[in-house]
Amino acid sequence: MRKHGPILNTFSQKLINLPAPINISLWRNYGSLLGLFLIIQIIRGIFLSIHYCPNRELAFSSIIHISRNVNWGWILHNIHINGASFFLILIYLHMGRGLYYSFFYQKKVWNTGITIFIASIITAVIGYVLPWGQTSFWDATVITNIFSATLYFGAHLVQWLWGGFAVANPTLNRFFILHFLIPFIILLLIILHLLILYEKGSINPLGINSNSDRIPFHPYYTLKNIIGYIIFTTIFITFFLFIPNILNDQENFIEANSLITPNHIQPEWYFLWLYAILRLIPNKLGGVIALLIAIFIIYLPSTYNRYKATTRFYPINKHIFFFILITWLILSWIGRCPVEYPFIQIGQLFTTMYFIYFLIHPQLTYIWHT
């Protein structure tokens, strides 16, 4: 302990005295809130896994058992379900901040952040299957069937994911294990993300890298983070106590039945924009390719930025940001609509606009700064 004491003291001193820009706004709080919600999700998930049974005959009843019979089980369940939605909300807000201020010029920070986003989407989608309700079962069937579009070995890949010839016990077991393990990988990625970020200090929203306008992290931003925690956790507690099921599909309160297909299969809200892109392409393989490009194209802005400027925020960034925000909202709405006229045409238009944004925005930012 004596050997590690000076090291811990030095680390804490560096964190307390970390140079931070004087004009960082409340937008910065979303990053620290993400860490808080991830820890909450991991802790609650561990407690829920004690009572959950990954078996298709018992999974649905085990969720009912947790909510009705386990002491404070309903709170654990509601926090975990709604915590996933709030975690994704924070990620979208955090990514939006990066696009708004063109922070993607820090390549390593941006790329690790997008990797965290992709891992979080995978974890949330897999976790939604575990309650084994109607929506859970059919979402798992649709999502895993995406891999059947792979040429030559698509059918074998789907059977390997299922562990058989249909979504059943082996599928549920594999999804449960992955849902339990991936959050710890996300935690490691977040630590890497922070180490890269604080290697050069926090980013000034104006892009000014001068040390003359910096202040110590503590107590200024410590207090700002605490206020952010209080405000957001108050909203979250109010949400899961009074309207805990507003984001859940009613079909998922019915036990999974492979013989009854729901009228309209749709994923959770955070996956709707990608689901819209997937199904708006007439060809199955083309839809899968469009889906993958829509995810990995978010890495693209960091590859374009090669400029060095004293100020990196201009009014054009704000207008372009609201362009992608409206596009994302409309695609999410299209994901809930049936595949028919005029939703197909609207979705295809805004899918094109989505791809144009990530192809054109970095170029415009580069031209503007040079």
Q: What is the pLDDT of residues 326-366, one digit of tens each?
A: 999 999 999 988 888 889 999 999 999 999 888 877 666 55
Contact 357, 324 (CB under 8 A): yes
Q: Please name which of 108, 308, 301, 107 lies closest in space to residue 207, comparing C-alpha atoms.
A: 308
Contact 346, 326 (CB under 8 A): no
* Whole-angstrom distance, CA of residue 266 vs CA of residue 24: 38
Tell me the two tokens of residue 169: 């016990």
Q: Please name which of 274, 370, 301 lies closest in space to residue 113, comparing C-alpha atoms.
A: 301
Using DSSP's 3-state secondary structure scheme, residue 154 falls into: helix
* Residues in the chain with pLDDT values less than 70: 1-19, 23-25, 200-213, 304-316, 362-370
**Residue type, position 68, single letter:** R
Residue-level pLDDT at 179: 94
* Whole-angstrom distance, CA of residue 312 vs CA of residue 253: 49
DSSP character at residue 119: H
Residue-level pLDDT at 240: 85
* Whole-angstrom distance, CA of residue 145 vs CA of residue 108: 33
Contact 20, 214 (CB under 8 A): yes
Half-sphere exposure at residue 166, Cβ-oriented, CA atoms within 13 angstroms: 7
* Whole-angstrom distance, CA of residue 202 vs CA of residue 209: 10
